[in-house]
Structure 1
Amino acid sequence: MPRRDLEGGGTKNTDSHGYDPETKWTSWLVPMFVVANVGVFIASMYVNNCPRTNLGFQGDCVARFLGRLSFQPLQENPLFGPSSSTLTKMGALKWDSVVKGHEGWRLVSCIWLHAGVIHLVANMLSLVFIGIRLEQQFGFVKIGIIYLLSGFGGSVLSCLFIRNNISVGASGALFGLLGAMLSELITNWTIYTNKVAALLTLVVIIVINLGIGILPHVDNFAHIGGFMTGLLLGFILLPRPQFGWVEQHHLPSASRLKSKYKPYQYVLWILSLVLLILWLSIGTVMLFKGENGYDHCHWCHYLTCVPTSKWKCNES
């Protein structure tokens, strides 16, 4: 049976049983997310107002010609951004504030904040390259759900393990999109050409990015939590119908497909839905009960930092 070349974005010759070319959605949500993230960063720099608040103990403000948008001294923030106190004020993820201060909104607000220009640019480039492709294929509703829920899932896992530091960034949401790409490839396996090459490429990208997360001061728990959430959501939201389903009304009744999706797609859908509900509900309850993730997983500190002779890890 002829198949659509999804990697190339084109179609191969099809007969009456072929797979209908899919609607090409116009990507507008992902660009809006980029604008929102840039806008929030500018707002955080305006609130930071380094020339007025910096006491000079760690050096002078960087790029003072920007006025109140100038950056904190590089000794304090080498990423060219605001102070940690400003990020906390703007909604950074902080265990005390979420659990003891009952500020659960930080689980969402933190994904719109970034520690500096370098952090912002890296995440926005990733969002553009990954998000626009997915939005064009599946539409803004599904990709918006994956992005926001993955960011929330990353925040929950991060807050379960990290208590003494703040956490900001869209990395959890971005890893959710990577996870959704992986599950979309798996659940729509029969549609893809060059499927093994596509799978290996995607796995290598994911492994490299998760590997970077074991460096000090990188919140790999947000990456892992976002990836797990996005992976499950991909199985739920991104399955494609069988070949010929769209055109089956042109076929004789005896030739029509009985089911829109393959049996394994239904199995993955149900299993992923159950696991997603369990993960988000149990994780959120554990978080607001004040439980420490390390009490249930003593070795999990290796997921976010591996101590070497070059650096030490603070497990708390």
Structure 2
Amino acid sequence: MAEGPPKDIQIRVNSRRGSNVVHPVEVETTPVSLSLGPIVYREIKHFKKWFPWLIPLFVIANVVLFIITMYVNDCPENSDSCVADFLGRFSFQPMKENPLLGPSSHTLQKMGALDVNKVVHGDQGWRLITCNWLHAGVFHILANMLSLLVIGIRLEQEFGFVKVGLLYLVSGFGGSLLSALFIQSNISVGASGALFGLLGGMLSELITNWTIYASKLAAFITLVVIIVINLAVGILPHVDNFAHIGGFLSGFLLGFVFLIRPQFGWVRQRYAPPGHTSGSVKHKFKMYQCILWVISLILLIVGLTLGLILLLRGVDANDHCSWCHYLSCVPTSRWSCKTEPAYCLSNQIGNQLNITCSNNNRTSTYLIPDASSSRIQGLCTQLCS
């Protein structure tokens, strides 16, 4: 029998979004004429543009890890047929096994995909983080990385690499946590939980900095429509919408903490030219901003802590919510939401390898001497597909 059954891949996919959806109104440094001197200009540095380097670095890291994953996968060694054979060990698994042009589920599991059983019973909690840096195929990583560049660079320019970097990482962890609580039979990979966190941060940033936006309602509606459309994509099979939702909620709460801007009166007062008087503004932030900051921080800490405790105790959230599975996949006449991991029985007799798929009872014989466990699992996945 094969050492470990391969599992279906739950990928985290999000479609490409339009750039620069919402823009805060820049503080204009208007000239001030003084009676005893020339016109004076002062730069308001609080709203300076940052040079974006972290988001491109994240993109490079994701691409490099995908290349390493394909090298480890080594399709010619572990499968009878590969797509794009001319790439050698970088060739892709058969389309029937992985239509996204990528590695096998066994390789993703080896590289750090989210596997709830290994997290809970194997003390491998690091998978909640590493799964955000892995992708199931070329199409998967292209969609996510293009979206990351479009959304992330704009946010990093506005708020800097520290805030956006933490927003990305914490949102990715929150997405993995919710995914692990609801999807426990399949592995999960992808960066779209973190990407949805950036979208959630954009929405909360719009809300908390509401007074400084021009065309507030139009910006709000545009952003909400984009979020709803992307969440709607998550009801398709094999897409991990729980990672999307968990990432979005984490980013939304964290946006109230990290992406807050001081009120204009305080900024003008702080950077006013010498001799210039304006109305006195004592507080840097408005009351509603402070309230949202405190509530969001508490909810985020409590939510992540409670979710982690429940996961490590082996709780299956589906047992307490009979309808929640519809948030990730809605069955229709065109597709089914049932995804069963492939289980096989294998028997090696000399150079002859016999494999029987337990899911559909198909049997096949291969002339492979001393087949490795990864080779057997790859053949099992193809046989059960």
Q: Normalised by the shorter chain, which TM-score bucket? A: over 0.9
Counterpart position of 2:289: 265
User: Is 1:100 matched up with 2:125?
Assistant: no
Whole-angstrom CA distance in 1 between matches of 2:198 and 2:334: 32
Tell me the distance in 1 between the aligned counterparts of 2:89 and 2:67: 10
Aligned-residue identity in percent: 63
Alpha-carbon deviation of 1:23? 1.0
- Mean Cα displacement is larger for which, 176-185 or 62-71? 62-71
Does residue 87 of structure 1 match 2:108?
yes
How far apart are 1:102 and its partner, in Å? 1.0
- Give the equivalent residue in structure 2 for 1:306: 330
**Which structure is higher in RCO with an 8 Å CA cutoff and minimum separation 6?**
2
- Report whether the alignment pairs 1:279 with 2:299: no
Question: How many angstroms apart in 2 are the aligned matches of 1:19 and 1:31?
Answer: 28
Q: Choose from 43, 62, 82 the match for 1:61.
A: 82
How many residues align? The count is 306
Structure 1 position 244, deviation (Å): 3.0
Shift of 1:255: 2.6
Partner Cα distance (1:252, 1:11) in 2: 17
Mark the CA change 1:252 to 1:221 in structure 2 (over 3 Å): closer, same or farther.
same
Match of 2:249 in 1: 228
Does 1:170 pair with 2:182?
Answer: no
2:74 equivalent to 1:49: yes
In structure 2, C-alpha distance between the alignment counterparts of 1:228 and 1:7, rounded to whole Å: 22
Deviation per CA, 1:278-297: give whole Å up to 9, x if none. Answer: 11000000000000111222
**Structure 2 Cα separation of the partners of residues 264 and 114 of structure 1:** 40
Contact 2:24/2:214 (8 A) holds in 1 = no
Q: Is the 8 A contact 1:301 1:315 kept in 2?
A: no
Partner residue, 2:18: none
| Pairwise CA distance, 1:66 | 0.8
Whole-Å separation in 2 of the counterparts to 1:147 and 1:195: 25
- Give yes or no for contact 1:19–1:246 (8 Å, CA) kept in 2: no
- Matching residue of 2:132: 111
What's the secondary structure of 2:99's corresponding residue? Answer: coil
1:1-316 correspondence runs (5 A): 7=23, 14=30, 20=44, 22-54=47-79, 56=80, 60-249=81-270, 250=272, 255-314=279-338
* Structure 1, unaligned runs of 5 or more: 1-5
Q: Which has the higher helix share?
A: 1
> What stretches of structure 1 move > 6 A for 4+ residues in a row?
251-254
Give the letter aligned to residue 199 of structure 1. F
CA gap of 1:64–1:279, structure 2 versus 1, over 3 A, is: same
| TM-aligned CA deviation for residue 12 of structure 1 | 5.3
Mapped partners of 2:102, 2:165: distance in 1:
27
Deviation at 1:170, TM superposition (A): 0.1
More strand by share: 2
Following superposition, the deviation at residue 246 of structure 1 comes to 2.6
1:63 touches 1:70 (CA, 8 Å); kept in 2? Answer: yes
Q: Relative to structure 1, is the Cα distance of residues 96 and 144 closer, same or farther in structure 2, using a 3 angstrom cutoff?
A: same
Query: Which secondary structure does the structure 2 equivalent of 1:167 belong to?
Result: strand
CA contact (8 A) 1:19 1:244 kept: no
> What amino acid is the match of 1:26?
F
Please say if residues 29 and 43 of structure 2, whose CA atoms lie closer than 8 Å, have aligned partners that are also in contact: no
Partner residue, 1:3: none
Q: Whole-Å Cα distance in 1 between the matches of residues 23 and 267 of structure 2? A: 20
After superposition, what is the alpha-carbon deviation per residue over 1:122-167, rounded to whole angstroms, capped at 9, x for unaligned? 0000000000000000000000000000000000000001111000
Amino acid corresponding to residue 23 of structure 2 in structure 1: E
Deviations 1:195-247 (A, max 9, x none): 11111110000000000000011000000000000000000111100003233
Residue type of the partner of 1:245? W
**Structure 2 portions without partners, runs of 5+:** 1-21, 33-41, 341-385
What TM-score does the superposition give when structure 2 sets the normalisation length?
0.76
Q: Could you tell me which amino acid in structure 2 is paired with residue 155 of structure 1?
A: S
* Bigger Rg, which one: 2
